[in-house]
Chains A and B, each alone.
Chain A
């Protein structure tokens, strides 16, 4: 056991000391921060226009001109000049745009806004909205419908909130936030399983091609070496995640102060996110990462032991990554829409697909017994793959220059000690 600890220590330290590892620790939270910053910035800048903007209306139809109403940022003025003079007059003024409604707009359909710079989307949106309202009012008037009725109509505005019925009482469930978290979890766990599993495989191949393997397994059993490597690399993964979570929390705190706007759209996003039990999801993520990682890393190690170089891994990699890829694609396309469908439930119980499938389902609060069954199956699953992998590994690491086939692997599995 002592020797496994030594191996874990070596595997862990050689990886953690690498420059690329340290760089990744800082780069990823910075990227997350930058992305968050970009979202806040875009949201803020789209929320309102800077300063007052004047719209000079040239209305050939005379049906709309006087009916525009000002908003805090947009002021409408009406002119009787023809479009050419009106355009020429403000061609150098950034704060004034010219709205042109031609007489034949029914046919051409072209209502245009002229300005020095392309008009901001908020301006065109506001004009469109008002034009639609005015047209509607005009049509009502023509058909002798009381505009007062129209006003009352306008006040009607339903909003539907999805409410979950739980034992603890009804609670608001924000579907959007759930879907976001669920897909993020699927992507994250999918990538981490592949990345760290791949590291284990490359480690095994490295030992084999370096020929150090024979020296090491004259000191420890092949199983101890495999286990030590898998655990060591897994700890590297956990270290990386912890560092990312801590750094992201710190940086988002700092960023929150920097932006310092309580009414920013981020506040809304954060408010909806707070309905999701992050602690629970994080705990489950760590469980599913570790168990899923153990399950796949063992298989990756077996593949690494069977080949002489990384280029030969292709034929074995495909069936291993298939279930992961399959669930991943299903997850980001269908599963999050139907998190309680039989397909989703089954996928979240089969150990090979469970890490991704269950992480997709978790934000939607699946039945606790399903989570429990899934977790038990994960433990059974990784014990099983570790057993199988160890039997292939112990033979494979000493085989050189032999092109391994599936038949060969099965034979190795049945070799006596």
Chain B
């Protein structure tokens, strides 16, 4: 769908992107992660052809990115804004027509969206008369009105109240189900695990990690498990196939331990060891969250670069 190859973007004084390559597959929800100033917005602007890279190439569905692709992309910038003095209906139609829609078609689709999001009465309102949350909703509609194949959202959840953020999230998922590819940048790690199929982590202009969320998390497994058992507290003497990392002794007869496997053992060995001694209620592998991976990677690279 979108193939970003060796993009370099240099601004006076600093480098925004160093040789960044990414593959976004069709139908994916792709998360672009990174701390502030990492280069996410620079990359998004390049994909939107707002700015051009110093070197590198981008392919859209196998074709070299060009002006004709603008109509296939919908973009919600981080800094949102609309013409304050313009009526909302007229403004949405204007923005959709700039993306190549006819007036009639834009009007039809706008009616659909306004009904869907409960905005029917807003048509004649000026933007300045709307609350900030309402403006954001309107802007989201403007982003997707021309039914783009690729929807690019820069920090889509910032500025929304929880109710609207949930609403927008559902809309994004629905659009994705209908076939749209979604590329979004965010700091919110919980939304990454919930939404994203794949991610790329950009830090200080470099891509330091990318891939499918599942694969990444699996590759960061460190053979750590959570165990809950009932019965007498087991006195571990060191002969067990794992190390105890932490132990929570409950008041009742339910005990929690966090363990790390010893070399050459697997979870079955743990169970075999435990079952004769106690009733095992739970054995769960601890897979690091994206948040933990993110922090770890960023810290590692920060120290590594300096």
Contacts and interface: CB of A to CB of B under 8 A. Distances in A.
B96 to A, nearest CB: 9
Given A3-B98, A6-B97, A417 B52 contact: yes
B99 A219 contact: yes
A218 B98 CA distance: 10
A214 B50 contact: yes
A221 B52 CA distance: 12
A140 to B, nearest CB: 79
Given A218-B49, A218-B50, A210 B83 contact: yes
Given A218-B70, A218-B75, A416 B52 contact: yes
A6 B83 contact: no
B80 interface: yes
A233 to B, nearest CB: 15
A398 B94 CA distance: 21
A69 interface: no
User: What is the interface residue range for chain B against chain A?
Assistant: 20 to 34
Given A14-B86, A210-B82, A417-B52, A216 B98 contact: yes
Interface string B287-300: 00000000000000
B140 to A, nearest CB: 12
B77 interface: yes
Main secondary structure of the interface of A (DSSP, over half): helix
A217 B79 CA distance: 14
Contact of B81 (A3, A211, A218): A211
B84 to A, nearest CB: 6
A117 B73 CA distance: 83
B12 A212 contact: no
B170 interface: no
A398 B50 contact: yes
Nearest to A411: B12
Interface in B12-66: 12, 45, 48-52, 54
A417 B50 CA distance: 9
A416 B99 CA distance: 25
B274 interface: no
User: What is the interface residue range for chain A against chain B?
Assistant: 20 to 34
A258 to B, nearest CB: 40
B142 A215 contact: yes
B95 interface: yes
B77 A6 contact: no
Contacts of A14: 83, 85-86
A7 B79 CA distance: 22
Given A14-B86, A218-B50, A398-B51, A211 B79 contact: yes
Contacts of A214: 45, 50, 75, 77, 79, 81
Nearest to B10: A416
A412 to B, nearest CB: 9
A211 B94 contact: no
A6 B98 contact: yes
A10 B98 CA distance: 11
B81 A217 contact: no
Contact of A416 (B54, B83, B85, B86): B54
A3 B96 CA distance: 11
Nearest to A212: B81
Contact of B82 (A212, A217, A218): A212
A38 interface: no
Contacts of B12: 411
A6 B75 contact: no
A212 B75 CA distance: 12
B44 to A, nearest CB: 9
Contacts of A7: 98
B124 to A, nearest CB: 14
20 contacts: A3-B98, A14-B83, A14-B86, A206-B84, A207-B83, A210-B81, A211-B80, A212-B81, A213-B81, A215-B95, A215-B139, A215-B142, A218-B73, A218-B75, A219-B70, A220-B98, A398-B50, A398-B51, A400-B79, A411-B12
Interface of B: 12, 45, 48-52, 54, 67, 70, 73, 75, 77, 79-86, 94-95, 97-99, 139, 142
Given A215-B82, A218-B49, 20 more contacts: A6-B94, A6-B98, A7-B98, A10-B94, A206-B83, A210-B83, A211-B79, A211-B81, A214-B45, A215-B81, A216-B98, A218-B70, A218-B75, A218-B77, A219-B95, A219-B99, A220-B98, A221-B67, A398-B51, A411-B12
